[in-house]
Structure 1
């Protein structure tokens, strides 16, 4: 199945898919690939596909605006970058799987990157609603049945975006397709673009042939008081292939040292999510500042010298410094759940 990657990428970025503007209004789980729709597959086959994304990977990113949807708009140049990532299974509880991505540079330096969680038949998720805010939304019973919610988390373990869809399995590869979802600006454009506010995306994850790819269909949307304006359609491919060239053992050492701290961060966020129906950053730079504060705290943390309870309290204070929360009853709260006056 090695040809899956090369043929899929060329089709996506240079072939007929460019002109069809596929999928943005399609039903969840509908494949962009030819062939008859297969029968829904067992739960364990879905789990196998998700868990196979863990490993040591040579990663290539390519994003290209392929169609202007606004008169007078000029598409931007393609974005290309490559590197190495280790993806590890942080949690596996059957219907809940957490995969942590770690970046590795040529000198062996390791950086905590994004995390993807997969939850089977979960009834709610954190939806991006714009302006650095996320709201908990419920799914209808028909959307829940047989579906997996994928939640992508920022480097500070705050929400980034989430989508639901169903896995389909064919001979040699598996594919998951999300419903149309909202996302904040990608980091590669956050500091360079101010002409649009968010992306409306359909995500495709294909696993097979000893690797996997993430395909993105992104509409770049500007919101105003008069409505929404779509500037352009962008297609993106992130490919994960087996390969050498990085010290992946450095990632293992990093994880062994840092995972206790970041586990406490996740439990702190879970406490916030349980108590609130909306979360967000207070200001434009608070997401970056919170990540910097947590990364610095991770460097100082030692489980032998500091209790988990004290560390959790410090983490909640850092989160509250940069984030706001709206409780389930509609009142604004601090990170402990107390109402603010």
Structure 2
């Protein structure tokens, strides 16, 4: 009788474990499906402001060709490096996204080029993936944790998190200093979509955050033949070792500091300009020396 009672329980336990593994595998596939060669269209438009006198900014449109290289493929960690292809011949190292399963440590952008390490409760991140987005020099940009959803043929991940101004605006705008990014990463039949519902926030010490304007954004990634991005694939083969060292040094920076504040320029140059000028054989010591100059 005990055997008969235990059998359904064991079968139920096995089914739950199997379902959990299947869900995680679906998550992993969705993330890795963002790899490859893509033609991208960037579309942004401001939609609302609580200030009736606010003058809406011009809509933003751009396009690009980009290779997304899978550089880490582990059970609990997936990393994708994005590389821009310019005029079919030039390659520019672009942003990077790391995905970590049930990761409790994320970095919050506070303001003034400052990021603070935040520990999330273990129960909060159960079954979730943290997306950590890094700038072209592998310094932090924004991060957040949420659950991948697979339902009715749809695959998506949603999160809201604070970030510095995007590159398309930080050199042109000074009327706000925080972008609260509403990120939706969605896999599609043509590739994938980064849909954004963003709040442009004015953050000042001792005051409540003030909303300047809201915007809608679409980064539309359309999959094309990998051959179109061959120059980027070749570039990464030649340069990936030095950038692995850069990532390792940034990992050390965050292991040593609960808060990271960066200077905008050193010797008249931004951080990426210093790192892009490095020889492929640069040592980790050389890299850390450069990064240290930017740490406040």
Same fold per superposition (TM over 0.5): yes
Structure 1: gaps (5+ residues): 1-38, 325-341
Partner residue of 2:96?
Answer: 115
TM-score (norm 2): 0.88
> What's the CA shift for 1:107?
3.5
Question: Does 2:193 correspond to 1:213?
Answer: yes
Partner residue of 1:27?
Answer: none
RMSD over equivalenced CA pairs, Å: 1.9
Question: Does 2:67 correspond to 1:67?
Answer: no
TM-score (norm 1): 0.77
Any conservation in 1 of the 2:111–2:203 contact (CA below 8 Å)? no
Call closer, same or farther: CA 1:93–1:245 in 2, change over 3 Å.
closer
Partner residue of 2:11?
Answer: none
In 1, Cα distance between equivalents of 2:52 and 2:269: 34
Partner residue of 1:144?
Answer: 125
The counterpart of 2:292, out of the listed 305, 315, 320, is: 320
In 2, Cα distance between equivalents of 1:159 and 1:221: 19
The counterpart of 1:85, out of the listed 66, 73, 76, is: 66
Structure 2: gaps (5+ residues): 1-18
> What's the CA shift for 1:210?
4.1
Call closer, same or farther: CA 1:318–1:190 in 2, change over 3 Å.
same
Question: Does 2:153 correspond to 1:181?
Answer: no
Any conservation in 1 of the 2:36–2:226 contact (CA below 8 Å)? no
Render the CA deviation track for 1:39-67: whole Å, top value 9, x for unaligned: 98711110000000001101000011011
Render the CA deviation track for 1:224-273: whole Å, top value 9, x for unaligned: 24322101111100011123698411001100111000000011111111
Partner residue of 1:197?
Answer: 177
Matches within 5 A, 1:38-57: 42-57=23-38
Partner residue of 1:234?
Answer: 215
In 1, Cα distance between equivalents of 2:180 and 2:34: 24
Any conservation in 2 of the 1:104–1:246 contact (CA below 8 Å)? no
Render the CA deviation track for 1:275-296: whole Å, top value 9, x for unaligned: 11111213x3359611100000
Call closer, same or farther: CA 1:246–1:229 in 2, change over 3 Å.
farther
Partner residue of 1:10?
Answer: none
Q: Highest Rg: 1 or 2?
A: 2
Partner residue of 2:235?
Answer: 254
How many residues align? The count is: 275
Call closer, same or farther: CA 1:246–1:82 in 2, change over 3 Å.
farther
Partner residue of 1:153?
Answer: 134
Runs of 4+, deviation exceeding 2 Å? 170-173, 224-227, 243-247, 284-288
The counterpart of 1:130, out of the listed 108, 111, 115, is: 111
Call closer, same or farther: CA 1:89–1:48 in 2, change over 3 Å.
same
Tell which deviates more after alignment, 71-80 or 237-246. Answer: 237-246
Residue 216 of structure 2 aligns to a residue whose secondary structure is: strand
In 2, Cα distance between equivalents of 1:243 and 1:198: 34
